[in-house]
Amino acid sequence: MLTIGSTYHRTKVSPRRGASLSHPGISPRSTSFSRSARNALPTILAACVATLLLGAGVARASSQLVISGAGDGHGVGMSQDGALGYAQHGWTYQAILAHYYTGTALGQAPAGATVRVLVGSKVQTLPLETYVRGVVSAEMPAGWPLAALEAQAVASRTYALTAHAGDRSKIGQQFDVYADTRSQVYRGVAAETPQTDTAIADTAGQIVTYGGNPAITYFFASSGGRTENVENGFPGAAPEPWLRGVSDAYETAQSDWKLSLPFATAAARLKGLVKGSFRGIEVLSRGFSPRILTAEVLGSGGGTQVSGPELAARLGLDSTWAYFSVKNGAAVKPEPDHSPQPAATNPAGAPAAPSAPISTAPTPESPTATPPASAAAVSSAQGGVQAPGAAPMLGA
């Protein structure tokens, strides 16, 4: 734990060298005080201290925590906005999937595969393809290019076979996925459209595999320019070779965001983490992308370390890709950041569309690959998942 001082800087009041102090009853040329001056001194000092404290309180009350960042969601796996960009630039769905899921191939789901979906309080068992038809347009706009919809179809199909959201040991909890954003959104027949049905038919039965086994396919809304390693996006998750951070060439400045919070609001959202009066936030470490791994909430009574996902959830941020500053009046001062500064978020030149599709893996007999132990299926908007136990990321 680092010993960190306050990030709230109030104006220091100190005499200039050679300047004299003058108060009633005090001679600037004498070190002796009259009795009345000595009697009045405590009152005078108390008034000065009160004035300083009042000024500090007013400054704190008017301080703003300014947060700038990029991306929407946890950052692990496929960026949906990024997939849109690649599709618009001629990439096939095979190439898009190979980019986001490192070292993977395409395989075929087991014949007759089904998915158990918790809809309300009831578990529905559905054929895999029927389930996927009720998901794709609920997770990605149906008007997007076919290649993006096809990539989403394969990702959603694979996720359904590899995410085990329920508890097989408990009656009524034996299901694979939720029908909402805790897994991926399922809307049944209402979600079926001609465009998404075509994408699903074009990719019928195809799933993402690694080493011949189905590989869980996390996805989310927008990367901001880089995706993140799974062990960084979901604290406590084991590293997985296909879930590594990659550059995202076609993410744009539209994924950037900015938020200003009064100190009082920030302190309220960070209740339980602030020791004394809220003073600011200091970043301690970042991942492959600039997403925050650990930070420290600073207070007048000391600091409290917090993970990036919890910090983002508490403050209501779109993602953990965030930088902090404090604004007092017209002055804006960046908060301390001990993490190495990352390279440019977007590559200088966008890659050309790959000419060859990714390889096809042998058909597995059953879906054997399992999600990381502590990253088994709570999602943010548009199908991005978070580790269970972590608070949902507001606005993601």
pLDDT for 145-170, tens place per residue?
999 999 999 999 999 999 989 887 77
What are the tens digits of pLDDT across the range 90-123?
Answer: 999 999 999 999 999 999 999 999 999 999 999 9
Ranked by mean pLDDT, which of 40-49, 160-169, 322-331 comes out on top?
A: 322-331
Burial-class residue 28 by CB neighbours within 10 Å (0-12, 13-18, 19+): exposed
Q: Are residues 241 and 374 in the same domain?
A: yes
How many separate domains does the chain show? 2
Residue 46 has pLDDT above 60, yes or no: no
Residue 237 or residue 45, greater confidence: 237
Residue 199 lies in a domain: yes
Residue 300 lies in a domain: yes
Taking residues 52-80, report their average pLDDT. 79
**Binning pLDDT at 50, 70 and 90, where does residue 386 land?**
very low
pTM of the shown model: 0.75
**Binning pLDDT at 50, 70 and 90, where does residue 194 land?**
very high
Residue 309 lies in a domain: yes
pLDDT score for 252 = 72
What are the tens digits of pLDDT across the range 335-379?
Answer: 999 887 554 444 434 566 664 444 444 444 434 343 333 333 333
Q: Are residues 326 and 267 in the same domain?
A: yes
- Average pLDDT value over all residues in the chain: 79
Q: Are residues 106 and 179 in the same domain?
A: yes
**Binning pLDDT at 50, 70 and 90, where does residue 294 land?**
very high
pLDDT score for 290 = 93
Q: Are residues 300 and 196 in the same domain?
A: no
Structural domain including 93 reads 78-249+366-386
User: Which residues contact residue 253 at a Cβ distance below 8 angstroms, ignoring those fewer than 6 apart?
Assistant: none
Residue 109 lies in a domain: yes
pLDDT score for 354 = 65
Residue 355 lies in a domain: no
Residue 350 or residue 85, greater confidence: 85
Taking residues 271-294, report their average pLDDT. 96
User: Which residues contact residue 282 at a Cβ distance below 8 angstroms, ignoring those fewer than 6 apart?
Assistant: 2, 4, 7, 295, 296, 298, 303, 324, 335, 336, 337, 338
Q: Are residues 263 and 240 in the same domain?
A: no
Q: Are residues 196 and 267 in the same domain?
A: no
Q: Are residues 234 and 171 in the same domain?
A: yes
Residue 238 lies in a domain: yes
Q: Are residues 264 and 239 in the same domain?
A: no
Residue 303 has pLDDT above 80, yes or no: yes
Residue 182 lies in a domain: yes
Length of the chain, in residues:
396
Among 29-33, 219-223, 335-339, the least confident range: 29-33
Q: What percent of the chain has pLDDT over 90?
A: 65
Classified as helix, coil or strand, 334 is: strand
pLDDT score for 124 = 96
Among 29-33, 304-308, 326-330, 350-354, the least confident range: 29-33
* Inter-CA distances, 178 with 172, 221, 385, Å: 13, 19, 12
Q: Are residues 123 and 164 in the same domain?
A: yes
Token digits for 180?
């909402």
Select from 334, 350, 376 the last residue of a domain.
334
Residue 389 has pLDDT above 90, yes or no: no
Residue 93 lies in a domain: yes
Q: Are residues 115 and 211 in the same domain?
A: yes
Distance, CA of 303 to CA of 172 (rounded, Å): 43
pLDDT score for 254 = 81
Residue 250 has pLDDT above 70, yes or no: yes
Residue 58 has pLDDT above 50, yes or no: no
Residue 333 has pLDDT above 80, yes or no: yes
Select from 334, 350, 374 the last residue of a domain.
334
Q: Are residues 182 and 310 in the same domain?
A: no
What are the tens digits of pLDDT across the range 258-279?
Answer: 999 999 999 999 999 999 999 9
Distance, CA of 281 to CA of 270 (rounded, Å): 11
Residue 354 or residue 386, greater confidence: 354
pLDDT score for 342 = 52
Q: Are residues 179 and 293 in the same domain?
A: no
